[in-house]
Homo-oligomer: A and B are copies of this chain.
Amino acid sequence: MKVKVAKEAGYCYGVERALKLAQEAVGKLPEPICTLGPIIHNPQVVDWLKGKGIVSVDSLNQIDKGTIIIRSHGVDPKVKIEAKKKGLEIIDATCPFVKKAQHCARKLIEEGYNLVIVGERNHPEVIGIFAYAGGKAVVVENVKDIKQLSNFKKVGIVVQTTQPIENLKKVINALIPKTEEIKIFNTICDATVKRQIAARNLAQDADLMLVVGGKNSANTSRLTQICAEVNPKTYHIETASEIKKEWFKGVNFVGITAGASTPNWIIDNVAKVVKKL
């Protein structure tokens, strides 16, 4: 069986940085060391960190001392203020690209724009950006949401870093006739786009495509969707244990890609298992 991993796959810069910051804290910063929500959307990595003494809490109410790690998705700025008040050490592992989106959102509000955030309403990154804008924003998931909006004089746009560029284009196209002025900060992260292009290209060539990553990871799900568009034999798995022999009947070439929160050791293991089939 021929197996190929997409040219760009797995950990992105923001995730790698967040995990590095978390590991560096162990033994140096006050315990307990907690992440506010799972540090990345990958259950295997979260378990591995637990082994190092870094646990995930759902809210600041669950921690009264020690260190709190703000994960790469970012948070409502009020959370940092509250953590300071509680006397906690703070590691802000917000991805620099997410931070940029947060600042762009605030800037657009200050400049008097009606803010539109293009992204998934319930994603922590979008919730954080929304909070940075003081809650004065409309979250738009897709072009259908635009139809319900009234006309604006000035619209400002920021984008969840993991959004597909095609969705942004469609939203902008629908907004153009509804407004006189649009200011767009294209805050989509390069890594996402590169992973998506590499995944699509590989899925076109491969007989079967495996997308490796957390079932709760938005960017992994999107990779699955993109691959499935060009290759109906696309499977989203978290680990090699989910692989089923019967998928591979008549398959000679398997492509593998992985979400931004999937560690290399999981990807490598999937490749190894497939090669042995």
Contact = CB atoms under 8 A, between A and B. Distances in A.
Interface string A171-213: 0110011011111111000000100000000000000000000
A168 interface: yes
Contact of A176 (B165, B176, B181): B165
A176 B182 contact: no
Contacts of A185: 180-181
A86 interface: no
A275 interface: no
B186 A176 contact: yes
A147 interface: no
* Interface size class, chain A: 10 to 19
State the number of copies, please.
2
Interface in A224-269: none
Given A169-B173, A172-B172, A173-B169, A179 B183 contact: no
A181 B186 contact: yes
Nearest to A184: B182
A176 B52 CA distance: 43
A141 to B, nearest CB: 18
Contacts of A168: 176
Contact of A179 (B165, B180, B186, B193): B186
A149 B186 CA distance: 18
Interface of A: 165, 168-169, 172-173, 176-177, 179-186, 193
19 contacts: A165-B176, A165-B177, A169-B172, A169-B173, A172-B173, A176-B184, A176-B186, A177-B186, A177-B193, A179-B186, A180-B185, A180-B186, A181-B184, A181-B185, A182-B182, A182-B183, A182-B186, A183-B183, A183-B184
Given A172-B173, A180-B186, 13 more contacts: A168-B176, A169-B172, A172-B172, A172-B176, A173-B173, A176-B184, A176-B186, A177-B186, A177-B193, A179-B186, A182-B184, A183-B183, A183-B184
